[in-house]
Structures are given as structure tokens and as C-alpha cells.
Structure 1
């Protein structure tokens, strides 16, 4: 271990940047579809040793002293995000004649930008660097801050946050019912980087002991919480049908395919239940399943009423339009409708957190004058965002908390009313990204929202992965990627979480404060020891 560390510490220039890139690329294997969390126990020690090798001359200018550390963090981040997000380019190939030119921006440009957060993380950590456990604590604080910023800066994009590496399966997800993702990000880096302490400076034994204790507590609490029963759902039990139509994205945007697509959804809706299964009370279609403006097509509502049996409810993704006033173009919303057996729309909710460049164009007037347009929204101006999130209340009084598409990757999107709802509802269309890691990563992140809130989830995806997930993140039933069909099951109950949002935020900042204090004390001791 010490020989390997010595070789990495002595690297410089392009060799150091390349090894940093490879370490980040290795860290990507902690995320779906791989879920090899052990890879982080290799990649983060390598990152620590690379930072150990940064020794700028004190007479150099500030920029030259900071640049080596920042470049290591950027190289690590670029490898991590490039390896984990390359599949975003698939969305641009659906209409390649229009958007293929932007492929380098999505595949290389976005990872290069996101890597700046990790560059800042390493730069912060380097300011408190020492020879022992303090440097591990400093690195954890740096990444904790970087991931916290990544969750909201420029509307936020916390995709593949480092903390998910520590939660590849329900056994390792249960800590999310006590602490938030920001805390898990921070502590995960501390634990993952701890092997770098073997054979190194002061506080190594304490640091390794703390890392082992944190990991053991993480696993132990998982065993404990999974042994607890889920609360029984209210009577009478509700049976839900998930419809997964697997419509190719190129066909979804083809006007000539609209009628065929609609009929495919209807056919799956009226399919008989499997033997020994009850007729579904709720049928759920994915995001933007209705291929036209539903309120402008009364015949379509009549067809839905013909398919639904008495008492059945359809919950579907659709595009909703709204008059914006005289002389202004209509507004369009990415929405969810609740439709009863008479073909009446009895509830609706609009998406709040839109995808930049996908569903709307930032700085629209400027960028549209350059000929740019949003990828997923073909209507002029793209989608509009809802001003507030509305619970969907079903005719029987039960409530759903709507999360459309990538809203499910944001823990903070689920506010107090989300914890009060009977079920989380995530409708999405990941067909844009094909059979790549993207849909698996999206599902994994949505899965964590159930543990954090103690609330089960109904997830319906056009091409997959559709599932009913219980309040512990355990898959009840599901349909794999590209599997066309339906699945019926009763809705599971909820679980009580140990802490609320405010308490979790306080735990995060307390943990950050403790680790920063360790880093500062270690740094001061290191400075005195070298004088």
C-alpha cells in the first residue's frame, strides 16, 4: 500500500491528471447499472495520494499554488461525470438532423462543467491539508459542500451524487431515513477515502476506526430498519396497474403515430388482470402518454371512459395548455391528469422543476435568436413551470404527491405535504436515452425518495423501469427496461421516519462542522510539527 501510494504521490503533469481521470472513471462504477460500491475504496484513496503530491513552492503566485490541486479535482470529476453521463447524448440523436451538432456539448461539455464542482471540492480540501486524518476530513467537507451546491446552483443537477455510491441496495439505503443525502455524501467520502490512512501520519488509527464504525452503523441500521414492518395501508386496499407501453421516442414525436400510440395505451389498460389478482382501482400511464392536447380532443376522453370500468381511475402524463391572454401564445405544461370512469378530468398537477435545454430554453430570447431550441418540447417557448406543487386527490380521498420525470432526483422536491401524502407518484419517459445506464440511474435515485420520506412510490415509465416501491426502498413489483406490459399489485403502507427535514439539515451542518474542526486541528498540529 505504501509503495503504491509513493508512486502516485510522485506523479506530476499529464501523468497525474490522467491518473486522476482514471480514478474518477473508476468511481463511476459505484453507480447503476454496476453498483460496485467497493470501487470507491480504491478511487478515493488514489485521489488523496494525488493531492498529497501537490507541493507548490511558497514563492509562487496564488493562482499557480492553487491550480495543481484544482486540476486534480477537475480531472477526477471529469472522469466520473463523463463515465456516468455519456448516455445523455442519446436524446440528441432522436432528432439527429436538428440536434446532433450539440452532441459534444452534452457528452463532453456537461461533464467538464460539473467537474468544476469537484475541482472546488479538492481546492477547498487542499487549504486544510495535513499528513493524517485531517486531510480525509477536509476532503469530506470539500465534497460535502460541492454536492450541496450542485443540488441547487443553476437550478441544480445532483445526478449521481457521491452518496448514492454508499446506497446501492435497500440494506444500505436505510440511513436516508435519518440523515439527508448531503450528510451521506460527506460521510461517504470520509469512509471511502479512509484506506489512504493506512501507514500514514497522526490520527490514522482514529480515522480508520471512525470509518469502520460509520460503515458498520450504516449496515447495522439497514438490517434493523428492514426488519421493521411497514404500516398496513388503509382499508379498503387499493390495487394499482402500471402500464409500460415501450413506445419508441422517434414515434412519440411523429404526428402520424398519435392515434396508434393512444390505442396501445388503451389496450394495455383494458387487459384482464392476472389470475388471482383483483381488477385495478387505479391505472397509471407514464409521462406525456397522451399524444395530443387532451382537452381539445373530447373524443379521446370518451374513449378513456369506454375503457375504464365503474369506479376505476386513470392517472396519466399529458401536455396541458392554458390561455396566456390576448395577443400572447398559449402556455404549455408537462402535467398529470386524473380521469374518472365518465371521462371527466377530476384532478391535475403541473411540473415545477423543468429540465434546462430539454423542456425550456434558458435566456430564451437570446438563444432562440441564435437558432437554438429545447430538445424535448416542440411547442414554441417550451414548457412553463408550475408556481406551486399540488397534491393529487383521488375520488376516494387518497392523495398522491406528483414528481414528473427528473423531479424525483431532488430530495428537497418532497416537502411536508409529500410526507403527508399516501403515495409518491413518479411518471417519466426515459425512452429518450435508450437502453443505457440513464434509466437505471434514474430509477435508483427515485427509489431513495421512498426511504427519505417513509412513503411508497408508484413509478410508471414509458420504456422502464416501472415499479411499486415500498417505504423502505424495496421493490414490490416492477417491469424491466423495454418490457412491454402491465403489472398489478396492492399499494403498500407507509413508515415513520426518525427525523424531519429541519433536523436533517442541522445534522448535515453539525457533521460538516465537526469534520472541519478535525481538519483545522490536524492542520495546525501539522504546521507546528514541521516548523
Structure 2
């Protein structure tokens, strides 16, 4: 191992770049749908050895070393995000004649930007680098901070945080309840990078011991939480998920809008399987209604016709808001709550819009360069100033997250503490049969675990499911399967739910890792002198 580590440290030029890029790409195997988390042991072990060999030129000194460390982290991140996010280009091919030119930006440009955060992670780690266990801890702290920064910088894009690779199944998901996905990311990097210590021997025993303890705690806490009883079954409701699998190109065609609407109505009124209980709630995916609902009162009548007494419909739709004479209307990506009389009881608008999908950031500059939204609306979508919950007629509240809003762990506000469930509606048909829908689904499951609240998820092409507070699938529909699925969800609110619990613990963990790395670094400097 020592000889192999030495050869990797001494690689240079193009060979070093390709090895670093490949290490990052291999790490992406830990993400869905493959979920081979063991690949990350290889990737992060190589990353440590590559950083061991990070040096500047003879005249550049310490700052040259930091620059080299940043380049290594950036290259690793570039490989990771290209391999893990290449499928984003599929959204551009829905209207290829207009957007195909932007494929390089989606497949290479976005990964190049996201890789900057991993460059910062390795740069910060190299500041506190040692020749022993301290450098592994420093790398873990650097990645924990970088993943959090990636979720908040600019518009934020925390997709495929490293921690997701350590949480492929429910028993491995429960740590997110205690320290959040960013805390799990930090500890995952520590465990995945520990084999690098075998090559040097320094700190190896302590490192392996701590990694075993962290892994045992990860599984042990998961096993403990999975055997805890769910809340009392005091507010059970039957939820019907409608997964219509409407091709995205069809959804964009004006001539097909009536057929799209009719298909949703048809699926909604199918009888329950095996004579089961009729659903209390019917849930359609994001933008299911292919026109402005308030401008088509007949549509509300048709919805009322298929709802039985006491049933309600939750559906995604575009909502327009008049701005007065001479001003264009505002458009919102919304979810409506409609009762059996065809009345709109409540609506909630999307707060966190998707860049380039629903709005153009730095619009004045980019529109001059010909950059437009994937969804064509005059002026694009507007973001809601604040999120509003949806209160069902008989009491429970739903906390709505539209599409990729659910990938943000910090998107939750105090309203979630009184919600009976998170409602996530999405349209992943943009991404086709790629890893995208599977990655999106895993992140939705982790929001249930972090916040100890069930998730009701309806996706146009999948994956639709009801998810319990431990991230387990109650019932669901596979990807690209046209179907309905009825299941029972417990809407009882957890009285002591604390949505800041995991976030607070993440910062405490990050502080502890940083302190350990700093003390190790100071000891390393004193020993050298």
C-alpha cells in the first residue's frame, strides 16, 4: 500500500488530472440508481493520497500548495458531478431544436461550477493538513462545510451531497435525523478516506478504530430508530397517488391539453383495488392541469364530477395573478386544494424556483445572450414571498414542496412543526429514464427522516410513493409505470418535532472536527520545528 500511495502522490500532469477526475467519477457510483457506496472508499482514499502530493513550485511555497490542493478538489468534483449529473442534458432534448446548443453547459458547465465547492473543501483541508489522522478529519470538515455552502450559495444546488451515498436503505438513513445530510456527509468522508492511513501507518489504528465506531453508530442508531413505534394511528387517511406518465413533449403541445386533463380524471375515478377504502385525498403531480384553471371554470366542474362527497384533490397547476391594466400577469408554479364542489379551498406557490427551468438568473445579461427558460411563459415564473401550508377540510395541514424544493434540507420553516405530512409534487419526465428520478426520490425520503414527518410524493412519470417518518416506502409506483396507488398515511402531528435539531447538531459536529484538525495541525507544526 505504501508503494501504491507513493506512486499516486508523485503522478503529475495529464496522468494526475485523469486519475483525479476518475476518482471523482467512481464516487458517483454511490448515488442512485446504482447505490454502490463501497466505491467511495476507493475514491476518497485516492483523494487523500493525491492531496498528500499537492505541492507548489519552488517559488510559490505554501500558497502554491493550496492552489494545487484546490485544483485537485476541483478536478475530483468535476468528475463526480459529470458522472452523477450528466442526465440534466435530457431536459434540453425535450425541445432539442431550441435548447440543444446548451448541452455542453448542462453536462460540463454546471459540474465545473459545482466542483468549485469541492475545490474549496480540499483547499481548507490542506490548510490543516498533517501526515496522520488529522488530515482525514480536516478533509471531512472541509467537505461538510462545502456541502452546506453548496446548498445556500447563489440559488443553492445540494443535489447528490456525499452523504446520500452512505444512506441507500432505511437502516442507514436514520443518522440524518440526528445530524442532517451534511453531517452525514462529513462523517462519510471521514470513514471513506480512512483506508488512506494504511499506507503511512501514522494514526492508522486510531483512525480505523474511530471509523469502525462511526460506522457502528451509523447502523446502530438506524436499527434503534427503526424499531421505535410510529405515532398513534389517530389520524389515518387514504391517499391516492395518480401517476399518469404523460410524455413531456405531449404536455407542451396545445392540441393535447384536453387529452392530458381527461387522463388525469380517468385515473382518479378508478375503483380501489380489491374493494379497498375509497381515497380521502387524490394527488396529481406538478403542473398536471395543462391550462390556467381559473380561466376554465368548466374544468372545476369536471373535477367536482369525479370527486365523491368528502374527497379532495391536490393538484399542481400554473396560477396567474392579474397585475392591473397595461401590466402582464404574474405566473406561479402552484398546488391547489379543491373540494368535491369544485371550489378552490387553498393554494400554495413555489418559493424556490428552478434556475433556467422556471426563471433566468442574471436575466438582463443572459437573455441578451439568448438564454431562455425551458418552460415558456411571458417573463417566466414568479417566486412566492413565503410558503403557505394547505389545510385540509377536517383539520390536518400539508407542507407543500414543489419539484426540487425537496432537495433542500434547510427549506423547512416553523410551519412544518404543525404539519401532518410533506406534500411533494414533481414532474421528473423532463429527465427521461436516467438516474435523475431515482436520485430525486432518495432525497425526498431523507426529508421524511430528518424532519420525522411522512412524505406524500406524486410524480408524473415516477417515482411516486407515500413514505413514513423513517424513510420507508409505505406504498409506491415504479418509474414510468402508468398507475394509481392507494395507501394509508398517518397525519398525526408529532408534538415535540424540532426541525432545527439536526441542523444544530451538524454545526456542533463541524466545530468538533475542525477543532480536532486544528489541534493536530498545531501539533504537527511543533513537531517539525
Measured against the shorter chain, the TM-score band is: over 0.9
Matched, 1:300 2:299: yes
The 3-state SS of whatever aligns with 1:346 is strand
For residue 228 of structure 2, what is the aligned residue in structure 1?
228
Aligned pairs for 1:57-136 within 5 A: 57=57, 59-60=59-60, 64-136=64-136
Give 1:232 deviation, angstroms. 2.7
Give 1:201 deviation, angstroms. 4.7
Matched, 1:151 2:151: yes
For residue 46 of structure 1, what is the aligned residue in structure 2?
46
8 Å Cα contact 2:177/2:502 also seen in 1 = no
- The structure-2 alpha-carbon separation of the partners of 1:83 and 1:292, relative to structure 1 and needing over 3 Å to count, comes to same
Consecutive unaligned residues of structure 1, counting only runs of 5 or more, are: none
For residue 481 of structure 1, what is the aligned residue in structure 2?
479
For residue 257 of structure 1, what is the aligned residue in structure 2?
256
- The structure-2 alpha-carbon separation of the partners of 1:364 and 1:37, relative to structure 1 and needing over 3 Å to count, comes to same
Give 1:468 deviation, angstroms. 0.5
8 Å Cα contact 1:428/1:462 also seen in 2 = yes
8 Å Cα contact 1:131/1:201 also seen in 2 = no
Give 1:503 deviation, angstroms. 4.0
2: CA distance between counterparts of 1:136 and 1:118? 15
2:455 to 457, 460, 469: 457
1: CA distance between counterparts of 2:164 and 2:155? 20
For residue 208 of structure 2, what is the aligned residue in structure 1?
208
- The structure-2 alpha-carbon separation of the partners of 1:165 and 1:15, relative to structure 1 and needing over 3 Å to count, comes to same
The 3-state SS of whatever aligns with 1:515 is helix
1: CA distance between counterparts of 2:442 and 2:124? 30
The 3-state SS of whatever aligns with 1:233 is coil
For residue 411 of structure 2, what is the aligned residue in structure 1?
413
Give 1:419 deviation, angstroms. 2.8
2: CA distance between counterparts of 1:37 and 1:423? 30
1: CA distance between counterparts of 2:66 and 2:460? 47
Give 1:478 deviation, angstroms. 0.4
For residue 399 of structure 2, what is the aligned residue in structure 1?
401
- Write the deviation string for residues 284-321 of structure 1: whole angstroms up to 9, x where unpaired: 00000000000000111111111111111111000000
8 Å Cα contact 2:463/2:479 also seen in 1 = yes
- The structure-2 alpha-carbon separation of the partners of 1:2 and 1:497, relative to structure 1 and needing over 3 Å to count, comes to farther
Give 1:68 deviation, angstroms. 1.5
2: CA distance between counterparts of 1:451 and 1:196? 32
2: CA distance between counterparts of 1:508 and 1:171? 20
Aligned pairs for 1:364-403 within 5 A: 364-375=363-374, 377-403=375-401
For residue 22 of structure 1, what is the aligned residue in structure 2?
22
Give 1:61 deviation, angstroms. 5.8
Aligned pairs for 1:236-275 within 5 A: 237-275=236-274
1: CA distance between counterparts of 2:123 and 2:57? 16
8 Å Cα contact 1:45/1:195 also seen in 2 = yes
8 Å Cα contact 1:287/1:428 also seen in 2 = yes
2: CA distance between counterparts of 1:118 and 1:190? 15
- The structure-2 alpha-carbon separation of the partners of 1:10 and 1:498, relative to structure 1 and needing over 3 Å to count, comes to farther
For residue 358 of structure 2, what is the aligned residue in structure 1?
359
- Write the deviation string for residues 173-216 of structure 1: whole angstroms up to 9, x where unpaired: 01111112221111111111111112425432222211110110
- The structure-2 alpha-carbon separation of the partners of 1:207 and 1:346, relative to structure 1 and needing over 3 Å to count, comes to same
- The structure-2 alpha-carbon separation of the partners of 1:511 and 1:384, relative to structure 1 and needing over 3 Å to count, comes to same
8 Å Cα contact 1:352/1:386 also seen in 2 = yes
2: CA distance between counterparts of 1:16 and 1:338? 55
Consecutive unaligned residues of structure 2, counting only runs of 5 or more, are: none
Give 1:513 deviation, angstroms. 2.1
For residue 515 of structure 2, what is the aligned residue in structure 1?
517
2: CA distance between counterparts of 1:62 and 1:324? 58
- Write the deviation string for residues 25-69 of structure 1: whole angstroms up to 9, x where unpaired: 110011100111111111101100011112335532665333221
2: CA distance between counterparts of 1:204 and 1:82? 33
1: CA distance between counterparts of 2:421 and 2:31? 26
Matched, 1:316 2:309: no
Deviates more, 1:132-141 or 1:506-515: 506-515
Deviates more, 1:238-247 or 1:7-16: 7-16
Deviates more, 1:360-369 or 1:56-65: 56-65
Give 1:530 deviation, angstroms. 3.1
2: CA distance between counterparts of 1:393 and 1:135? 50
2: CA distance between counterparts of 1:355 and 1:165? 24
TM-score, structure 2 normalization: 0.97
8 Å Cα contact 2:56/2:67 also seen in 1 = no
The 3-state SS of whatever aligns with 2:334 is strand
2: CA distance between counterparts of 1:208 and 1:264? 56
1: CA distance between counterparts of 2:261 and 2:145? 46
The 3-state SS of whatever aligns with 2:250 is helix
8 Å Cα contact 1:419/1:454 also seen in 2 = no
8 Å Cα contact 1:335/1:351 also seen in 2 = yes
2: CA distance between counterparts of 1:500 and 1:40? 32
2: CA distance between counterparts of 1:449 and 1:297? 35
- The structure-2 alpha-carbon separation of the partners of 1:494 and 1:17, relative to structure 1 and needing over 3 Å to count, comes to farther
Give 1:366 deviation, angstroms. 3.0
2: CA distance between counterparts of 1:435 and 1:483? 12
Give 1:341 deviation, angstroms. 0.7
2: CA distance between counterparts of 1:418 and 1:521? 39
8 Å Cα contact 1:471/1:494 also seen in 2 = no
